[in-house]
């Protein structure tokens, strides 16, 4: 009996109409049946937020394409437990994000959090980001995402583990290869911009660019800076086991 093609869920945090999600979905259609369930607007830096304060609405905007007025986490949860509950999802792929998700970025990232939600739900998941700020070459990143997805579908992933993939801002022929990396450390220049509206009331923008990264051999930041594709296995268990031993020696 011929095996049915796998069902693949694609999400992001840049919104359902982003060029990045189109490129990812188009690439993954080579592997199986792709469903796109993504926010109806920009949700960058939404982290792992789940909407509990108001109902969510879903709009079908294309063939197997749905827009949700919620966060990336909402989208994955609604897809798996709602829209696609009668389908077995073999893979969650989030991206392709406009901008890197390296080092501490992953704590803010809606792109990575969508993959985390898939992992929590027991589905092998990957997050894909393009380390660019100005112009975006999605074709090479999408081709690598296809390769990575094929490997994940073939081999699976360790329990509670997702892959955070960052592709350097280069044409495919200039990329040096792939490195399996650890999570690096960002150093941010956080800034608060204060302004006043026409009525004289203050309002604020939270901003700040990454200044630099700590030197850490084998990190995702180092790899991308040196023109390698970074593949970082991210585990859901945040426990610092070494600190547990230290804390047990305290007098509680």
Per-residue pLDDT tens for 62-71?
A: 999 999 999 9
Residue 208: per-residue pLDDT: 62
Q: Is the dihedral of CA 72, 76, 82, 84 positive or negative?
A: positive
Specify the CATH number of the domain 7-184+213-248.
3.40.1210.10
Phi, psi of 57 (to 5 degrees): -120, 145
The HSE-up count of residue 11 (CA atoms within 13 Å, CB side) is: 35
Residue 210: per-residue pLDDT: 53
Residue 16: per-residue pLDDT: 98
CB atoms within 10 A of CB 81: 10
Residue 212: per-residue pLDDT: 59
Three-state DSSP at 53 gives coil
Nearest C-alpha neighbor of 236 from the set 75, 67, 122: 122
Pick out the chain residues at pLDDT < 70: 1, 189-190, 208-213
Residue 237: per-residue pLDDT: 97
pTM, whole model, 2 decimals? 0.92
Residue 100: per-residue pLDDT: 94
Distance CA(31)–CA(38), nearest Å, equals: 20
In terms of Cβ atoms closer than 10 Å to its own Cβ (0-12, 13-18, 19+), residue 190 is exposed
């Amino acid at each position: 009996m011929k095996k049915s093609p796998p069902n693949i869920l694609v999400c992001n945090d840049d919104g359902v109409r982003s060029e990045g999600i189109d490129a990812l979905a188009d690439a993954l259609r080579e592997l199986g049946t792709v469903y796109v369930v993504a926010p109806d607007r920009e949700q960058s830096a939404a982290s792992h937020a789940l909407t509990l304060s108001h109902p969510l609405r879903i709009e079908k905007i294309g063939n197997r394409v749905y827009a949700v007025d919620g966060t990336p986490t909402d989208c994955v949860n609604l897809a798996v437990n709602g829209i696609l509950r009668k389908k077995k999802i073999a893979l969650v792929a989030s991206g392709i994000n406009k901008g890197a998700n390296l080092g501490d970025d992953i704590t803010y990232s809606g792109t990575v959090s969508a993959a985390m939600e898939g992992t929590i739900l027991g589905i092998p998941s990957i997050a894909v980001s393009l380390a660019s700020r100005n112009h975006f070459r999605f074709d090479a990143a999408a081709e690598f995402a296809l390769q990575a997805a094929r490997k994940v579908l073939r081999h699976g992933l360790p329990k509670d583990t997702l892959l955070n993939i960052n592709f350097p801002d280069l044409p495919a022929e200039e990329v040096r290869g792939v490195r399996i990396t650890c999570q690096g450390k960002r150093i941010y220049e956080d800034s608060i911009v204060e302004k006043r509206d026409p009525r004289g009331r203050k309002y604020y923008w939270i901003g700040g660019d990454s200044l630099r990264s700590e030197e850490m051999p084998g990190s995702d930041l180092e790899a991308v800076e040196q023109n390698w594709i970074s593949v970082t296995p991210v585990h859901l268990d945040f426990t610092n086991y070494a600190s547990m031993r230290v804390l047990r020696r305290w007098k509680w």
